[in-house]
Structure formats: structure tokens, C-alpha cells
Amino acid sequence: MESMNLGITHAEDEMALRSKGIWGLLAGAAVGALVCCDRPAEPDLSGAAAPALEIATGSGEGAMGSDSFDEMSRLRNALVDGMSRHELRDRISDPRVVAAMRTVPRHEFVLHEYLDRAYDDRPLPIGHGVTISQPYVVALMTQLLEVGTNHRVLEIGTGSGYQAAVLAELTPEVYSIEIIEPLGREAAGRLERLGYDTVRVRIGDGYAGWPEHAPFDRIIITAAPPEIPQPLIDQLAPGGRIVAPVGRTGFDQWLVVVDKDSHGNIRERRDIPVRFVPMTGEALER
């Protein structure tokens, strides 16, 4: 089965980055390079009344030759090695996350015309007004999520399916909701073709979560709601964690980590300043 991505953008505010001492991460790139799944709001597709649809996976693109495969593997390892050299290198310390980033073939999730840039540490267009997330952002959010091998994970928004594939390297139970149907169907077929057939995909508004498969040990949101949707908090298992960008505008958003203890008490902490596209659907009505 598969994964997909909800409304999303994530480029860090320049002044906030400077104050946090992590400006060096963007050296040689535009200020907006640290971005997760850049997507403009699409009101005509965001209505909460649209019915949810679970996707059966299908076929995708063809395989590459062995020489090209070896070159892509080399570039992928160079990308991950490069992450360990920038100012935020200590943030990506979980060897399982590093191994997942080395394993998932990002070039399979980008458009053919951007194949030669698949292992740049930056977002790339994937169609439907969306981009594939910057690899470092995927690694950081995955690290913060602390996924265990037996965890059930819900992803609100997958875009190309790249983040879902990384999660699937860590646990066999990944559920993902996408609000844009063509994007979700493309991601589902791609994930199945690449062997990530344990990922379940559903088309619909992610605000309400996926109650049929709750509770979830981990939830990741890839678009910025004004606050964490209550249905997602309700569907989080005791001892569970949510990682999400939160804020009403691109100038007051933070990457937030929400923990629920064994008694159901919620604790929230901010991590780094971010700038995401607002979460669409019912979240826009709140």
C-alpha cells in the first residue's frame, strides 16, 4: 500500500536561523532552501466534506541500469555524509535514521527532469504544486519522532511518498493521508513498486486523522495547522509523540514536539523556527 502529502512548506526564517546559530546550514544556497514539501494553498481541493478513499497500489516507473544505480547510491551516501558536516550534525544521531536515509532511493521520488539534482540537500518540484522535502528536514523530523520497530505511525501528508518510505524503514506500520488525490495515487504506486507495500494510504482531509487504525504511537504532520488538531491528539496513544510545524503564519511557526504521558497529560515543546504552508482542509476553518 502507500503514502502521500498534505499542504506544506518549510523554509526557515532568516533572522531566527541567525539567532539560533544555524545559518551555516544554508551556505551556498538560497534562504528558502531548508524547506519541507512546498505547496501553495488549493482551496478547491481542501474541503473537509470530500470522502476519504484508501488507495490500492499500482505500478510505477521502470528500473535503472546497474551503472546508474551504483552512481545514485554513491550520491545518496555522499548526501548523508554531508549532513554530518554541517552545524546541525549533532541533531541526526540515531543510527537507524541515518541508515534509512542511506537506504531510501530519493531519485525514485523526483521528476525525471530533476534526476541530476535528486541528492542535493534541497526540495525539488514533484508536480501538483508540491515539492519533495529537503533530505535534512526529513531526517530531523524523523529523528525527533523517535520511531520504534513496533510503533504504528500516522503521517498527515506525504507528497511523493519519500518521508513515508523513510518511516517504513523503521517500522512496518505506516499510515498516511493525502488531500490531493492524483498525488496520493502516484505516491501509492511508487511506494509499492519500490517494495514499501506495508504503507497504507488514504485520500482525504488529515485533520480528523484515521480513527479506524488508532491509536497511533507516533504522528507526523507535514503542514502547519494553527494548533495541533484535537482529533490527532485524541488518536495518540499514551506514551506517544507528535512532531509538526505549528503556527498561524509563516513568521510565527515552530517545529513542535508533543508528548502524551501514560495518564493522558500533554506536554509540548518548541524545537526550531520553521515556515510551512498552512495545513489545508478543516484546519483552515479553525
Residue given cell 506544506 in the structure block: 8
Q: What sections of the chain are H helices per DSSP? A: 14-20, 66-83, 95-103, 135-145, 162-168, 181-193, 230-234
Q: Grid coordinates representing 17?
A: 536561523
19 is catalytic: no
Place of cell 513568521: 251
Beta pairing, strands 130-132 & 124-127? antiparallel
- Give me the catalytic one of 3, 46, 133, 176: 133
Give the type of residue at 16.
A
Compute the radius of gyration of the chain from its Cα atoms. Answer: 17
Q: Which residues pair with 223 in a beta bridge?
A: none
Largest CA distance in the chain: 54
Are residues 127 and 71 in contact, defined by beta-carbon separation less than 8 angstroms? no
Sign (positive or negative) of CA dihedral 102, 200, 259, 151: negative
Q: Pick the closest to residue 27 from 91, 114, 88 (CA basis).
A: 88
Residue 112 sits at the vertex; the CA angle it makes with 106 and 117, to the nearest 5 degrees, is 55
- Catalytic residue numbers? 133
